Amino acid sequence: MEVSLIDSRCMIVVGTRPEIIKMAPIIREFERQAFPYILVHCGQHYDYNMSQQFIEELELPKPDYGFEVRAYSPGVQTGRIIMRIERVVRAEKPRIVLVEGDTNGVLASALAAVKLNVPVAHVEAGLRSFDLRMPEEHNRRLVDHLSKYLFAPTETARRNLERESVWGQIYVTGNTVIDAVAQHMPLALERSTVMSRIRFKHFALVTAHRAENVDDFSVLSNFVEAFSEAPLPVVYPIHPRSRKRLRQRKMLSRFAEAENVQLLPPLGYFDFLVLMKNCDMIITDSGGIQEEATAPSIRKPVLVIRLSTERPEAVEVGFANVVGVEKERMLKAMEHTVNEKAKLPRTSPYGDGTAAKKIVGVLREVLQ
């Protein structure tokens, strides 16, 4: 039986850019199957317009509802999003609310839904860093414990959920990030001109944005030292805040002197995809990039400049290596990766790019 009646609608909530990227394949699958849905964009005020633009760039449909939440503290932010999302859920009466990831917006949206007795489906369920100092760890865990449908990207994630005896139904689907890379890479290669600006043929691509790294000056100066002495050229799209901090401490000039370091302003998603495709290795503290690097059209070794990861699968199969933030260990790991030309697996531990299809399939089934 086909479900196309209005009362079988799902509500998809997105907020930050990573959520938009990972939800994009699901939105496209809803479109492809002509399955009814409502798209809600709830953003934080400082990047709301950017996210809105990003939705257009990815050629996704315009959200049915969009609102930005001005808040300077996480509690107020979470509280306000609960109240805003509640109004939408009450007006639209969706059968399921679909959220992705682990931000305060995700927790707030899920809470609003569950408080109105609307079942929640969590995409990318079961991730755990077991580090409760990360606010995302609380958000993930709470959303998993209030969701009725849990879409775990991997068997590891499923085991995490089973160990916590979540009450919802678990489905292992793969991660939609792999679908997303496959769908977005052609667009990126067509539109991005970033490679014409890169001075090197072979290089390591660096991203660092986590507060515990870039807000800690001793860590940041480790980065400067390590990258300046790196065994291969380094391309580093640097956040203006980190750049400013380096200049204040007179460290920026070290980068300027180092011939093998090219600093770039922050890059768009498409430029970044193209750089990932063309680099020799990726050095990052981001979670999502550890996954993207394993996509067939990228396939690059990753050095994780953090102390822990909630994505152990890439480490287990040999794509990633958690190297911490000490200069010597970072350098050693870079050398090792250059010399060994790490033999990377053919397939991604995060699925075969059919996660969105599986997720929408489950949603259709449970709604029938």
Chain residues that interact with other proteins, rule: CB under 8 A: 73-76, 78-83, 85-86, 89-90, 104, 108, 111-112, 114-117, 132-133, 135, 138, 141-142, 145-146, 148, 163-165, 167
The one-letter amino acid code at 20 reads I
Cα angle for residues 277, 288, 97 (degrees, 5° grid) = 130
Beta pairing class for 320-322 and 302-304: parallel
Of 136 and 292, which has the nearer Cβ to other proteins? Answer: 136
Name residue 169's beta-bridge partners: 149
209 classed as catalytic: yes
Of 75 and 240, which has the nearer Cβ to other proteins? Answer: 75
Of 131 and 352, which has the nearer Cβ to other proteins? Answer: 131
Of 126 and 349, which has the nearer Cβ to other proteins? Answer: 126
Cα angle for residues 91, 117, 3 (degrees, 5° grid) = 70
State the minimum distance, in angstroms, from the CB of residue 110 to other proteins.
10
Sort 52 into a burial class: Cβ within 10 Å, 0-12 / 13-18 / 19+: middle
Instruction: Output the DSSP codes for 117-156.
Output: T--EEEETTT-----TTSHHHHHHHHHHHH-SEEEESSHH
Interatomic CA distance for residues 77 and 86, integer angstroms: 14
Tell me what percent of the chain is helix, strand and coil, each rounded to the nearest 5: 50, 15, 35
State the minimum distance, in angstroms, from the CB of residue 124 to other proteins.
18
Q: Which of 45, 145, 202, 209 is catalytic?
A: 209
State the minimum distance, in angstroms, from the CB of residue 89 to other proteins.
8
State the minimum distance, in angstroms, from the CB of residue 213 to other proteins.
18
Angle between helices 240-248 and 217-228 (to 10 degrees): 90
State the minimum distance, in angstroms, from the CB of residue 300 to other proteins.
34
Of 98 and 111, which has the nearer Cβ to other proteins? Answer: 111
Q: 363 with 149: CB under 8 angstroms? A: yes
Annotated catalytic residues are: 209
